[in-house]
Structure 1
Amino acid sequence: MYISDGLIERIIREDVPCLDLSTALLDMGGYPGMISFHAREEAVVAGVEEVLHLFDKFSLRVVVSCRSGQAVAPEEVFLQAFGRAADLHAVWKVAANVLEHCSGIATRTRRLVRAAQRVNPRITVLTTRKLFPGTKEMAVRAVAAGGGWPHRLGLSETILIFKQHLCFLGGVEGLAGVLDAVRARACEKKIIVEVEDADEAARLCRAGVDGLQFDKVPARQLKDIVGDLRRIAPAVTLLAAGGIDQENVAEYAGTGVDALVTSWVYFGRPVDMGVRITGV
């Protein structure tokens, strides 16, 4: 996946706006040294490619590196590089923060995907765009490293119609009246509508929408709805969203939907990483 120079410059500038005052005052910046990273727990590592770009900016020589998406054991060194002490200290915290937070997302994603696919091997875990602004590039790559995919990257990408749209159109009936026109203007796109109950879902299926996203419908109830909708429109794409997490993912995976949409993977503790810097 593409990593922009702008992203790397921005995260460096946040931590080193001018200089590393401590290292400069100690007059130790030119000494050679080594930096290495390990997880203190089992984890799926992510953010590695971003950190390698960061290392390249400071001319560090990488001698050990894994790929994002690799599972690592506690104390296993997965990234190691040599360089000047000033450069090692400049990248230290930025690299640790990227690896810890991205690996947290990837680890939770992998956990969710495996739990869901034990129930339904064909189901997909999709992640929302409900993340902290400015972190999307790294978060999306971390999700992919864990085996998930983004639900939608932004408003320009997909047609997803909410009740906040329907209130301007006259509800479900109003939407049904403009579906053909919408489809003609964006013939290569699926039209997905978020719903909250079975009646709305059935009416929209009969109107010819391509997919439905169920928001916060209990799993037991959703399973019955999915069965009914498959009889009305066998090819309709069905998504479950709203509150899906590690505790209920297996139950939702058993409802018969095609994909699970979640924000849960973004919100949790980072992976506990250890960093060692030594002179050589």
Structure 2
Amino acid sequence: MTVFFEQSQIDQWIGEDASYLDLTSHMLGLHKQNTTLRYVVRDPIRVAGTEEVAEIVCSCGGQTQHYTPSGVAAMPGQTILLAQGPAQAVLRAWKVGQNLLEFACGIATLTHQVVQAVQTVDASVAVLTTRKHAPGVRKLALKATLSGGAMPHRLGLGETILIFPQHRALMGGWEEVGRAIARHKYALCEKKIVIEAADLDEAYRAAQAGADVVQFDKVPPETLTQIVPALRKAHPNVTILAAGGIHAGNAASYAATGVNALVTSSLHYAKPADIGVKVSLTEPAESQEPLVASKLEGLE
């Protein structure tokens, strides 16, 4: 999958860690030596972010020989990216690339596990990820969750219409919300109107106000199992989402409630993957033309 990262983002990642010099390499006299860098997986993972690490290596002055594409499984001992170049270039890229891979692969791996658990219960239930994550990592978190098989719920305020209780409080209640929707819905014919609800009564009010989608917030799965059929009977065309407090431990239970999708932030806070790094002097036989991408490793 492709998520667009500008060169300025790549440069920012590099500059955050090595903006002035590599003092250790300078002291040791490590400059032009031909060097090979390998990122090696220690546990079974779902790969994410290798394309961006390849760009980091290139921006530092090295060459990526091959990498395992994002979205592919990798097993312990597998090299998911191999790069070569002058020592000063490879060593500058080393930790930046490792940090990115551990973060992204950790998210992708957990996402894949949750998606698999949900689809085992009901293959028609989607896993959607929110924009609730650490500041500054939206694109990388998005790529990681896409690599794990999830889809984005909402990437920004200008993308969808999502009416929260906080909006209703400022509008003065359900009637004013309904009037606003009625006034503008003709112009929003290509948009879905989502309204958050805390219980069945609010869900009925949301549907009557003109919601295309009702998003239940922090409603336990055992309660959803009772109220989803009632809402579907009254409003069969309404899409139903479950959100709030959904994680790997309860995703399967939520998937069994009859909702169309699960909305979660928890995947963004996955444990980082364990990615080892091997650095060595490049042997003559290792030299080869760089490949843009290699799908020879990790294919299922």
Do both share a fold (TM > 0.5)?
yes
Match of 1:189 among 191, 195, 210: 191
**In the TM superposition, what are the counterparts of 1:111-130 in structure 2 within 5 Å?**
111-130=113-132
For residues 5 and 48 of structure 1, what CA distance do their matches in structure 2 show?
Answer: 15
CA root-mean-square deviation: 1.1
| AA in 2 matched with 1:66 | T
| AA in 2 matched with 1:82 | Q
- TM-score of the superposed pair, with normalisation by structure 1: 0.97
For residues 253 and 72 of structure 1, what CA distance do their matches in structure 2 show?
Answer: 27
Q: Which residue of 1 aligns with 2:104?
A: 102
Q: Which residue of 2 aligns with 1:177?
A: 179
- TM-score of the superposed pair, with normalisation by structure 2: 0.91
Q: Which residue of 2 aligns with 1:39?
A: 41
Comparing 82-91 with 176-185, which one deviates more in the overlay? 176-185
For residues 29 and 59 of structure 1, what CA distance do their matches in structure 2 show?
Answer: 12
| AA in 1 matched with 2:123 | P
Offset at residue 60 of structure 1 (A): 2.1
| AA in 2 matched with 1:67 | P
Q: Which residue of 2 aligns with 1:226?
A: 228
Q: Which residue of 2 aligns with 1:81?
A: 83
| AA in 2 matched with 1:33 | T
| AA in 2 matched with 1:213 | Q
Q: Which residue of 2 aligns with 1:247?
A: 249
Offset at residue 185 of structure 1 (A): 3.6
**In the TM superposition, what are the counterparts of 1:120-269 in structure 2 within 5 Å?**
120-269=122-271
Match of 1:68 among 61, 65, 70: 70
Q: Which residue of 2 aligns with 1:48?
A: 50
For residues 21 and 141 of structure 1, what CA distance do their matches in structure 2 show?
Answer: 33
For residues 65 and 52 of structure 1, what CA distance do their matches in structure 2 show?
Answer: 8
Maintained 8 Å contact 1:205/1:232: no
For residues 131 and 180 of structure 2, what CA distance do their matches in structure 1 show?
Answer: 27
Comparing 203-212 with 261-270, which one deviates more in the overlay? 203-212
Maintained 8 Å contact 1:172/1:200: no
Task: Determine what percentage of the aligned residue pairs are the same residue.
Answer: 42
Offset at residue 63 of structure 1 (A): 2.2
Maintained 8 Å contact 1:206/1:232: no
**Counterpart of 1:167 in 2: which secondary structure?**
helix
Comparing 210-219 with 185-194, which one deviates more in the overlay? 185-194
For residues 139 and 209 of structure 2, what CA distance do their matches in structure 1 show?
Answer: 36
| AA in 2 matched with 1:91 | A
**Counterpart of 2:143 in 1: which secondary structure?**
helix
Offset at residue 208 of structure 1 (A): 2.6
Maintained 8 Å contact 2:243/2:263: yes
| AA in 1 matched with 2:79 | V
Comparing 214-223 with 56-65, which one deviates more in the overlay? 56-65
Maintained 8 Å contact 1:230/1:236: yes
| AA in 2 matched with 1:225 | I
Comparing 53-62 with 121-130, which one deviates more in the overlay? 53-62
Q: Which runs of 5+ in 1 are unaligned?
A: none
For residues 208 and 228 of structure 1, what CA distance do their matches in structure 2 show?
Answer: 18
Maintained 8 Å contact 2:193/2:210: no
Offset at residue 19 of structure 1 (A): 1.1
Offset at residue 172 of structure 1 (A): 1.8
Q: Which runs of 5+ in 2 are unaligned?
A: 283-300
For residues 210 and 30 of structure 2, what CA distance do their matches in structure 1 show?
Answer: 69
Do residues 10 (structure 1) and 8 (structure 2) align? no
